Amino acid sequence: MKHFSLLLAVLVTTMFASAQSPKLKITHLTGNIYVYTTYNLYQNTPVPSNSAYLVTDNGVVLFDTPWDTTQFQPLLDSIEAKHHQPVVRSISTHFHEDRTGGIDFLKSKGISTWSSQQTLVLCKEKGEPQAAHQFAGDTTFRIGSQQINIFYPGPGHAPDNIVIWLPKDKVLYGGCFVKSTEATSLGNLSDANVDVWPSSIHKVMKKFPTPAYIIPGHDGWADKRSLQHTLQLLKRYNASKKAVH
């Protein structure tokens, strides 16, 4: 009886923890653009990872893949149920796992996976999943009536980070290149170039001066001043480095 009570307590605790764990969240942004958020552990803390998708006349385009590997199929199922459209393409914005982790799964479903050539090289070097198709430099995709502009601003969070501009709705999908105004630090800097990052941010601000929305790779996006906030975080970080030296 004691063993049964212990087993029951463990089971209830596990079920409660599972119920508390965030999974997949899909939020309508504007027009045919949706932000989907999954969660994973970073330094033993659940961290939200924002990705997005665009619904077109010819299917749905994913910007990055879920970070939580258990959410690959639920994402496709949710999109199919919500929009009655299949996912036809994905575009990964840099080589890290929270952007590329679902590539092999998407390929197994016959979905066309894309990244920059620079991202492909880094994925090969780091052992991350590799997209089947690549683009070189700034690129424009036209899918149905929608246009998707790819812009490489230079190194920042990663050597290969790109941003995606959706001109119809003036949405800038920044990925991990852009820090949310909720962020108090620059986060993972293992592959970052903090010296060049500010210059890269200024290029994006010049290229897309009046975005209606900016989607960062993590945390909230309600405040449009995320590019300026990223610059402030970089300024503070670089100043602290100089003070140490």
Which residues have a catalytic role annotated?
94, 96, 98, 157, 176, 179, 188, 218
Task: Report the C-alpha gap between 96 and 19 in whole angstroms.
Answer: 28
- Single-letter amino acid code for the residue at 162: I
